[in-house]
A and B are shown apart, each in its own frame.
Chain A
Amino acid sequence: MRFLEKQIDAAETSGGSPGWFGYLVRRLATLILVVVGVVTLVFVVQRMVPGDPVDVMLGEHATLADRQEMRSRLGLDRSAWDQYWLLWQGVLDGSLGTSFEPGERAVSVSSVIARHVPATVELAIGGLLFAIVIAFPLGIAAALKPNTWIDTVTGFLALAGLTIPNFWLGPLLIYLFCVHYSLFPDPGAQGTGVVALILPSFVLGTALSGKLMRMLRSSLLEIRGEPFVMAAQLRGIPPIRVFLRHVLRPALIPVVTVIGLQFASLLTGALVTEKVFARPGIGTLLLDAVSGRNYPLVQGLVIGLAVVYAGVNLITDLVYAWLDPRVRLIGSGSFS
């Protein structure tokens, strides 16, 4: 790392866009480190948690011959280093290992994941849209009229969004809108159309909207007190314009970061939401793999999702640095 930092310093002093290159290199190096760590942690956890993968896959009552075969198929008869390397091979060739349920033919984990990605991405985007549509008007309203009844009501809504779990809201809404009023198709029988996406997206978006609402409110209130806002007002700029250009724009910077960092909560939420609405996404795949005792598939999914999550965090950081140049100039010490 020290060597890298010297390189970065050199790049920074040699002109060009200040800090950009160095920042990018630093963040990419962190990403590589995280990937190495993720694979290693998965390996360590596997070895430390008591429980034999062969038992996981076959149950405890399998015959000795079957157990032997499964052992060699999973590579468990080899040395620890070989097994660690096996894990890496899957990551490096992009297959994330080989998925097989007992008695079924083998396919690469990544191809199984790829089939389920679209449904989850649709849901995540839908959830994000709902979160933004709910949070922005309410968050802005609360910030414009702080300490009034509007503020209290939106504050309560944000708390409700944060605390009401998806797996409660989901069934409630299904009962209300699919069974009682028949406004939406039955979750069991639905395809992947837009109408079928509305309820699950709303359920997924509520928690995030609560977080965004709070964030937006406090961010707006903070910026409103800045001297440059008063300066803009004194120059006679119309209030609407002051708000849009001088208050809202800078206030959005931390909000963007929160949206990116909440990818994990969207992912967790999608696990539950997909179960509630019986949607064929990554979450359903993971749960099926767990209950189907598909050891390699679970392992590949865990590594794959963790790497994607780290990647999204990296992109978030880059967007943040692009929006707020101060971030790039802060040394790695305080930023890490």
Chain B
Amino acid sequence: MRFGVRWGKRIGLSIVTTLVFVALFADILAPYDVDFRNSHTLLAPPTAQHWLGTDEDGRDLFSLLLLGAKIAVMVGFGTVLFCAVVGTLVGCISGLLGSWVDEMVMRVIDVVLAFPRILLAIFIIFLAQEPGVHTVILALSVTGWAGYARLVRAQVLVIREKGYIQAARGFGASNSRIIVAHLLPNIAAPVIVQATFGIAGAILAEASLSFLGLGPQNSVSWGRLLDQGAVLFIKSPYVGVSAGMAIVFSVMGFSLLGDALRDQLDVRSRNTP
């Protein structure tokens, strides 16, 4: 397994780095503009001009994939950042204060986690109509923070009994100081591991939503390409296959990195990804 873990980490890290790089510079790297339509080559197979061929509108598929990476990374990182920050804060406060605050927060978490994530996201996007990237991030975050809050609270309950927290209290440290100086550094590892898996989950969720026609409108997304590609499969497999590969590799990259981080940081998490 050691061998597997080492390579898993390397592969995961290279995929993630590549993905982030591509997403940051997608507009520069893409050989063609999104709106560039070559009406002579609809659904063309790969050529020297169009490395991965074209879609049904004659758009360059390679460029579309690069721009799709932008949406995937934005939704993935955006959602996880939002969820991790809110969840960590709520978890810290809940675990540290205890009593009725904790009781109430835990009940709210129970309710939020009672929703299948995609279901509430679909509902929010349905209500919002014409959703943008921000709407999708928000829709996925409404349920996403609860997992982090639960994880952090469980950690805080253990740590708050430790001697150094008691000592800090004895010196008159305030709750906010205890959170920033003592709790956060000690709960960072499991949160980072969960966040890494969380990015994979968010990318997959965005792709699912887009595939269902409920992703960010007016932007290129892998899920949407896949939706187009699924219908066109018989005529030309390139659209569907390449968009699917992009999703699979990105999700796999973050999962491998998450596995490696979990082993390296020695996090014993009860929450499987």
> Which A residues are in CB contact (< 8 Å) with B248?
163-165, 168
Determine the residue in chain B with the shortest Cβ distance to A215: B272
> Which A residues are in CB contact (< 8 Å) with B244?
164-165, 168, 172
Q: In the complex, what distance in Å separates the CA atom of A187 from the CA atom of B213?
A: 20
Size category of the B interface is 35 or more
> Which B residues are in CB contact (< 8 Å) with A306?
114-116, 119-120
Instruction: Identify the stretch in A48-56, A110-118, A245-253, A318-326 within 8 Å (CB) of chain B at 4 or more residues.
Output: A48-56
Tell whether A38 pairs with B111 under 8 Å between CB atoms, given A51-B127, A290-B126, A290-B214.
yes
Interface residue? A336 (CB, 8 A): yes
- Judged by DSSP, the binding face of B is helix
Is there contact, CB below 8 Å, between A155 and B107? no
Q: B90-132: which residues lie under 8 A (CB-CB) from chain A?
A: 103, 106-108, 110-112, 114-120, 122-124, 126-129
How many whole Å from A188's CB to the nearest CB in chain B? 11
Interface residue? A223 (CB, 8 A): no
Complex interface bits, A315-336 against B, C-beta within 8 A gives 1, otherwise 0: 0000000000000000000001
How many whole Å from B9's CB to the nearest CB in chain A? 14
Residues of A within 8 A of B (CB): 1, 30, 33-34, 37-38, 40-42, 45-46, 49-51, 53, 55-56, 146-147, 151-152, 155, 159, 162-165, 167-168, 170-172, 174-175, 179, 211, 214-215, 258, 264, 267-268, 271-272, 275-276, 286-287, 290-291, 298-299, 302, 305-306, 309-310, 313, 336
Residues of B within 8 A of A (CB): 1, 4, 103, 106-108, 110-112, 114-120, 122-124, 126-129, 142, 200, 204, 207-208, 211-214, 223, 226-227, 229-230, 233-234, 237, 240-241, 243-244, 247-248, 251-252, 255-256, 272-273
24 example contacts (A-B, Cβ-Cβ < 8 A) are as follows A37-B111, A37-B114, A41-B111, A42-B123, A49-B124, A51-B128, A56-B126, A147-B1, A151-B1, A159-B252, A163-B252, A164-B244, A165-B208, A167-B227, A167-B230, A175-B233, A179-B234, A271-B118, A275-B212, A291-B213, A298-B126, A302-B119, A306-B116, A309-B114
Tell whether A258 pairs with B120 under 8 Å between CB atoms, given A49-B127, A56-B127, A271-B212.
no
Is there contact, CB below 8 Å, between A214 and B214? no
Q: In the complex, what distance in Å separates the CA atom of A56 from the CA atom of B127?
A: 7
> Which B residues are in CB contact (< 8 Å) with A164?
244, 248
Tell whether A287 pairs with B212 under 8 Å between CB atoms, given A165-B247, A268-B116.
yes
Q: In the complex, what distance in Å separates the CA atom of A167 from the CA atom of B126?
A: 21
> Which A residues are in CB contact (< 8 Å) with B204?
163, 165
6 tightest Cβ-Cβ pairs between the two chains A and B = A37-B111, A168-B244, A171-B230, A264-B116, A49-B127, A163-B251
Tell whether A298 pairs with B123 under 8 Å between CB atoms, given A167-B208, A171-B230.
yes
